[in-house]
Each structure stands twice: as structure tokens, then as C-alpha cells.
Amino acid sequence: MAQVARGFGLYEPEEESRRREEVLGRLYEILQRWIKATTERNMGADFAQEAHVELFTFGSYRLGVHTPGSDLDTLCIGPRHVSRDRDFFGRMGSTGEVGDPATAGGVLNLCGENKESLYCLLEGVEDVETIVGVPEAIVPEIKMVFLGVEIDLAFVSLELDVIPRGVDVMKPTIFRNLDDASTKSLNGVRVAAYLFDLVPNVESFRQVLRCIKLWSKVRGVYSNVLGFLGGINMAILVARVCQLYPNAAPSTLLQKFFTVWDMWKWPSPVLLAPIVDEGLGLKIWDPRRNPIDKRDLMPIITPTYPCQNSTYNVTVSTLHIMKQELSNASRVCASVAKGEEKWDKLFERVDFFKLHKNFLQIKVTAASAEELKKWSGFVFSRLRKMIEQIEDCTAGTLHIHPCTEEFQDPGLDASTHCLYYMGLKKAPKDLIRTRMYAPQSTGKSFDLNAAVDIFRRILYNFKEHTPTMDCFVSSMKHKDLPSFLTEPKKEEKKGEEEKKVGNENGEDGKENGESGAKRPRTEEGEGPPALESKRGGEEDGEKQPEVKRARAEEKEGANGSA
């Protein structure tokens, strides 16, 4: 198992590990300087002497399963007199709307409001290469690249005048008077710490989890945002298998992982420990009391208070895709056990564009790289909403398969656009749900205008939206996909042949630095219904982020890329 993981480059070099430790140390020092200055400004010099913050890691790094280049999830815990908006982000009542004094160049300028905020302090650090504040996220955080390491930094202000060194985050009382964002931030740290107490062998847990993360990525089912599996979901699933087979070797645990979850009767919940209500008024997952919890399709429950469903994003379509992948992996593992296959078979990369005949292309554009990063991140985080709307407006008769990768057209400016894709096909009969209304379809086509219109309204609610941020949604058939997604690079093939006979020019035949891929074969049999499409209008006289829906042959060469 460890050899398989190393073969796929899942362990980072020692140099990179040392750099992460250095970055964490420097970040800790910056945070201490910031909290003392902030406390002196807010409370006076006497309080500043005792001022202190704690820095925690969570996610894959805390679990010890991070890979080279992966981001570092961190949480800063400060005292009650420190405000997330004012002192962490530097926002002093700004809205982020165009014309707001804090808005410069179409992007929210957090440092422009409070130059003594942590955001502004980090922006002035020479080794911080890029920094973006995301105050409106479900978990507000500062995203930055520090000495080449990507860091997501969240903040929680506890109901304490002074944060003690080594503060115990596992005490339930730590949640007193916290908002929902702070509760979610703390839960990430608590779950990561508690998992080690719940598994019989931590090293076996880590080995299996590394392989499961790799499998989910290469098979296209690694994205909690899109309704697939995320890091914490997989960690809980692996931990449960470790509990069921406490003495099993890692290779056996890997096989059992797919056997257990292939046979699992969803929506039966996955629990690592009993659900406990500490009586602090926080909502816990309980379908007996909360009717909305009964709708969860694949409940994987976090083991610490407040216990919540970590897979609330799963849709009918994404659950079906994951069940198919689990079943396929279970068969591969059975073949490995018989000596008929090797482990490499389990980690074969899926070719998404071979799976479908019809697609939706979502093209995201912006005026600059900084603007695109914010805008595309918001659009990507809302793609699940469009999946749900399509499922509803077609009464579940259309199956939506979102691609977890982001693409860019090599013929366009990479700093101002990106592309996302969804595959479409008729849903299997056992997935078609009965609705109170008929699907919006005529003949062999479906009208998805209503779903896209709702998606457009959601995008327009982005508080940092500017007139230069756009989104174009188009339906297209496989034959109309951009060639860089589907066509083999003939020059690459020619170059490989020339290398064999000794190409005197030493050319490899590649264009634009792209690697080649075999031309996908479309599926046989009747394809899914074609999509009706028409141009959406503007509402209430205001310009909406433009969501264009056109037939593939009307598009500009079918070009458009967490």
C-alpha cells in the first residue's frame, strides 16, 4: 500500500514539509504581533501584554495525509474583543457593491478600509505572493500563497478576554455565543482531532485514506462542493471501516472499504459515535426532530458535537455516480485479491468526455486574474444549485454528471476565463422521481431555461459582482466540444514516431504544451434528449450576469475552463 502511494507521488518531499513548518511558524509570529497591536488599539496597553491567539491546523495536513502542493487549512482563535469583519478582514461596514468606497478596480479592497487589519498586515509581507479575502463564504477565510504554500486561514473569536495557551477546543462549552460560521470552523478542527481517538490504528487509517483520496480524484468523485465526496467525508468512511475491522492490514481495509460502501443501504446514516446533544442550542442532525434531515441522500455524520451531515450537498445524480464507482472499485478489488489484476487498475483515470454524448458548458469570464479567482470560485460553489434545479425541472428524468476539473481554452487568455462541464443523459428508470408537475420537455428535448434562470439569479446575488464578471451556459453535443478536450494531438503522435527513428530536429510535436489524449468514442444506442435553449432576458431593468444559452453550432467555435 505504501509503495502504491509513493508510486503515485502521494508523499511530499522533506524539503516541502520543512517549508510548511517554516510557514506555520512565521504565520504564528505574525498573528501574535497582530493580536497585541489590535488589543492595544481596542482595549489599551495593559490588556495587550496578555494578548494571545492560538493557531490550529485541520484537514488533510492535520490528519497526516496531505499531498505535494495541497493547501493548508488553518484556524486562528482570538479573544472576544477582536472582530472578524473589522480586525481580521478589515471591513468597516462595506458592502462590496460597485461605488462602495472600499471597492477599487472592481475588486473588494479590504486593506483600503482598515490598514491595521490582519489582511492588510499579511498583504504587506514580502513572502506572501497572493492574498484574497473571502468574507462572504460559508466559512469566511483569507486565502493566500505564503512562500509557495497555499493557506486557507479562518478566524474564530471566543467569549474569552484572554485566550489561554493550549486552549482546549474539545470542550463543548467553547461554542457558547458563536455564530454559524465560527461553529463550522471549530468543528473542522474538532473532527480532525477526534478521529485519531476513534480508529484502532492511526497509521493504517492514514495509508488507506491516502489511497481513497487518490481513487476519488482519478475517478472524478472528489468534490464536496459539487455533491461528491470531500476530505472529511472520506476520512469518516475510512475510519468506520477501520472500526469494523480493527486488526486488518491496510490492503485488506482498502478492499473492505469498497465492499462495505458498495453494499451500504443509503440513506442509512454512517456514524462513528453516538449522536449527543450537549444542550447548548446548536442544531444537530436528527431526522426525528428535523424533517429536513430526512431528505439527506447520503448522510455521513461528523462524530463531534454538534453532529452534522457532512454530505448535505449530495444530489440524486451525484449519489448514483458514486454508487457506480464504488461498485466498480469493489469488483476491481475482488480481481486484485484473486491475482487477476494489480492495484494500478483501481487508480485508472476516468475519461469524463468519453462518458456522455451531451454536455453543458459553463464559461466564466472576468477582467483580471484576481477578479476571475473570486468570481470563478463563487460560480463553482453554486454549480450544485444548477444540478438540483435541472433535476427538479426535468422531474428527475435527466441525469447530470458534473466534471470536477476546471479547464481553460489554450486559444484564450488564461487569466480572464475558465470552463466547467456537465455531462447529460437520460436517468436510469430507478432514479426517475415522481413530481407534482410534469418535466418541462417537448418530444426528445428538455427546456432547461428555468433552471438556468434560477442559476443566474443566484450568481447575481454575489456581493462582489462587477459588470465585467460574466457567465455563459451553453448546451452542446460531443462532436461540438472544443478540440483540446477530445481530439488527439496528431503532432504529438507524429513526434513520438519520429523520436523512435531519431528526429534530427528534436521536436516532440506538441502544441501549446498540451498532452495528447485518444479520441473518445461516443456511447452506442439512443442518446439523451437534445436541449432546447434560448437567450435569457434581463429582469427589472438591471443588468444581470449574462448567462447565454445557445445551440452549439451558434457558439464561437465551441470555445469557451475545485
Domain count, the chain: 3
Determine whether the annotation assigns residue 398 to a binding site: no
- DSSP structure string for 340-367: SS-GGGGGPPP-GGGS-SEEEEEEEE-S
Res 104: pLDDT? 37
For the chain, give the mean pLDDT: 83
* Co-location of 401 and 280 in the same domain: no
Among the three residues 347, 365, 396, which one is the final residue of a domain in this structure?
Answer: 347
DSSP string, 313-342: T--HHHHHHHHHHHHHHHHHHHHHHTTSS-
Q: Does 72 count as an annotated binding residue?
A: yes
- The total of other beta-carbon atoms located within 10 Å of residue 3's CB is 8
Give the single-character DSSP code of 562.
-
Tell me the longest C-alpha to C-alpha distance in the chain.
78
Q: Which three cell numbers stand for residue 462?
A: 454575489
| Average pLDDT score over residue span 187-198 | 95
Angstrom distance (rounded) from CA 22 to CA 119? 20
Q: Is 455 annotated as a binding residue?
A: no
Nearest Cα to Cα of residue 550 among 529, 530, 535: 535
Find the angle CA(319)-CA(263)-CA(385) to the nearest 5 degrees. 10
178 assigned to some structural domain:
no
**Last-in-domain residue among 347, 378, 413:** 347
Angstrom distance (rounded) from CA 284 to CA 302: 10
297 and 395 inside one domain: no
**Cell numbers at residue 101, please?**
468606497
Is 228 annotated among the ligand-binding residues?
Answer: no
At residue 78, what are phi and psi to the nearest 5 degrees?
A: -125, 175
Residue 406 belongs to domain spanning:
355-554
What is the side-by-side order of every strand in the sheet holding 470-477?
Answer: 398-402, 417-426, 358-365, 470-477
pLDDT digits (tens, 9 = 90+) for 377-399: 899 999 999 999 999 888 888 99
Give the tens place of pLDDT for each residue, 37-95.
999 998 888 888 889 999 999 999 999 999 999 999 999 999 999 999 999 998 754 44
Using pLDDT thresholds of 50, 70 and 90, give the confidence band for residue 111: low
What is the structure's pLDDT at 373? 87
Q: Is residue 219 situated within a structural domain?
A: yes
Quote the pLDDT of residue 432.
62
Residue 227 and residue 162 share a domain: no
- Cα gap 491→539, rounded to integer Å: 48
Same domain, 407 and 521: yes
Reduced to 3 states (helix: H, G, I; strand: E, B; else coil), residue 119 is: helix
Same domain, 40 and 120: yes
**What percent of the chain clears pLDDT 70, i.e. is strictly above it?**
79
Provide the angle, in degrees to the nearest 10, between the axes of the packed helices 369-393 and 316-337.
90
Whether 161 has a binding-site annotation, put simply, is: no
18 occurs within a structural domain: yes
User: Cα(474)–Cα(554) distance, rounded to whole angstroms?
Assistant: 10
Residues 338 and 271 in one domain: yes
Is 365 contained in some domain? yes
Q: Does residue 47 sit within a domain?
A: yes
Confidence tier at 112 by pLDDT (50, 70, 90):
low
- Residue ranges in 158-315 assigned as alpha helix (H): 180-198, 202-218, 231-244, 250-263
Residue 73: beta bridge partners? 58, 152
Cβ-contact 469, 370 below 8 angstroms: no
> 235-244: per-residue pLDDT in tens?
999 999 999 9
Residues 284 and 239 in one domain: yes
On whether both 374 and 319 belong to a single domain, the answer is no
CATH number for position 111: 3.30.460.10
Q: Is the peptide bond before 306 cis (omega within 30 degrees of 0)?
A: yes
Give the H/E segment covering residue 397. Answer: none
With bands split at pLDDT 50, 70 and 90, how would you rate the model's confidence at 429? confident
Taking residues 104-118, report their average pLDDT: 58
Lowest mean pLDDT among 176-185, 328-337, 515-524: 515-524
396 a known binding residue? no
CA distances from 65 to 68, 140, 144, 206, 472 (A): 10, 24, 21, 6, 37
**CATH code for the domain of 209:** 1.10.1410.10
Q: Is 327 annotated as a binding residue?
A: no
Q: Is residue 215 included in any domain, yes or no?
A: yes
Report residue 433's pLDDT band, with 50, 70 and 90 as the boundaries.
Answer: low
| 73 assigned to a ligand binding site | yes
The set of catalytic residues is 60, 71, 73, 152, 213, 222
Q: Is 60 annotated as a binding residue?
A: yes
Boundary (domain end) residue, out of 347, 375, 407: 347
The predicted model scores a pTM of 0.82
Residue 174 belongs to some domain of the structure: no
Kindly state whether residues 99 and 218 are assigned to the same domain.
no
C-alpha cell at 246: 480493527
Q: Are the C-beta atoms of 308 and 302 separated by less than 8 Å?
A: yes
Tell me what pLDDT residue 460 has.
Answer: 84
Whether residues 155 and 223 fall in one domain: no
Residue 412: how many CA atoms within 13 Å on its side-chain side?
Answer: 22
Contact (CB, 8 A) for 108 and 94: yes
Instruction: Name the most confidently modeled range: 330-334, 459-463, 503-507.
Output: 330-334
CATH of the domain at 536: 3.30.70.590
Residues 491 and 461 in one domain: yes
Q: Is residue 431 located within the same domain as residue 494? A: yes
Collapsing DSSP states into helix, strand and coil, what is residue 151? strand
373-382, 468-477, 493-502 — which is least confidently predicted? Answer: 493-502
Sign of the dihedral defined by the CA atoms of residues 281, 282, 288, 290, in that order:
positive
Query: Do the domain assignments include residue 121?
Result: yes
